[in-house]
Amino acid sequence: MVVHIHELLKKEGWSLSKLALEADIDKSKLSRLASGQREYLYIDYLVRIAETLDIDDLNEIVSLERVEDKSKK
């Protein structure tokens, strides 16, 4: 799973802090989500992010892709 929050923020010219405030999500939780440190997603967070950034397709926020697990090397 790949989370595209940093790309969306760059495109919008927003900071993580601004998104956290506007979407009413704890900044530390949002930061862990954005950096891929969370193993699960709260659909509520995705919906809030989508509504805040006016995104219709959740695939713009998160996508299922095969990623290499560097810890298994």
For each successive 10 residues of the chain (73 residues), what is the average pLDDT? 92 96 95 84 92 95 74 59
Note the pLDDT of residue 65: 73
**Alpha-carbon distance 23 to 47, whole Å?**
9
Is-contact 55 61, C-beta < 8 A?
A: yes
pLDDT for residue 70: 60
> What pLDDT, on the 0 to 100 scale, is given for residue 68?
67
Task: Find where tokens 């900071």 sit.
Answer: 15
**Which pLDDT value is given to residue 73?**
55
**Which two tokens mark 43?**
């659909």
Report the candidate in 49, 37, 42 with the shortest Cα–Cα distance to residue 5.
Answer: 49
pLDDT at 71: 62
